[in-house]
Chain A
Amino acid sequence: MVLDIFLLSVLVLASLWTVMTRSILRSAIGLALTSVILTIVMFRLNAPLAAMFELSVCAGLISVLFISTISLTQPYTNEEVLERMKIMFARFKFLPILLVGLGAFLFFMNIRPFVPFYYKESLVDVRVFLWDLRRIDIFGQILILLVGVFGVVILFKERVKK
């Protein structure tokens, strides 16, 4: 329980650092760090398959995608970046105050569950679920991947000169 609370507070702090940090490159690295901590939390909640997906895709692939995009689209010099960072920090300084206020509100309201949990015994393994019971979903995912591929192809299509 103590480890759970520690991991969740590190998760919130890492995402706060991701949003508040001045350099956008550090922001992308902080997103990967958030993803890694979320992976550990998911392993503790008995979801190893989804945790491995999260680690390989969200912490690996999306970080590479973001960092390469940031390196392709950095139009400012160092002085301009420092100047913009001060403006950005002025906009984001209310976020920790808002979070502390919200945390105190939620803590002192002492909200009790309004959703009834029912503990039905789950008999199905995740592999059976994924490959036998939800087989149509796999086709849906393949279609979504194809949609993404066609989207990127159309976005970067070179125009034919007449």
Chain B
Amino acid sequence: MDIVNLFWVYAFSIIMLLVIGIYCMLATFNLMRALIGSEILIKAVTLFLIVAGYVTNQGALAQCLVITLIVVEVVMMTVAVGVVLGIHRYNKSLDVRKIRNLKG
């Protein structure tokens, strides 16, 4: 199997992961589930960076980028979970339809 066909097998599953994550973020009303959808999107991007580094023979650079991406991901998730906990403390709910206080 040559490297181009291998790249397209991987790209196929990356597109699948992106669609799953975007659908999860669009269809849910729960804030935690929206965070899980964004995690799946970030995993698709991680896989894409690693595959791009593999097919262009620049694996070291791709690994550095992925390590930075993982650090940013963890910080983003920690702050987002803190925001979710604060929303739950004041509204007693994680449903986004009940927290539209600034609407209008």
Interface residues, chain A, with chain B CB atoms under 8 Å away = 1, 4-5, 8-9, 11-12, 15-16, 18-19, 24, 27-28, 31, 34-35, 38, 41-42, 45-47, 49-50, 53-54, 57-58, 61-62, 65-66, 69-70, 72-73, 75, 88, 91-92, 95, 98-99, 102-103, 106-107, 111, 113, 117-122, 124-126, 128-130, 134, 137, 140-141, 144-145, 147-148, 151-152, 155-156
Contact = CB atoms under 8 A, between A and B. Distances in A.
Contact of B9 (A5, A58, A120, A125): A5
Interface of B: 1, 3-4, 6-10, 12-13, 15-17, 19-21, 23-24, 27-28, 30, 32-33, 35-37, 39-40, 43, 46-47, 50-51, 53-64, 66-68, 70-79, 81-86, 88, 92-94
Chain B's interface: helix, strand, loop or mixed, by majority? helix
Contacts of A46: 54, 59
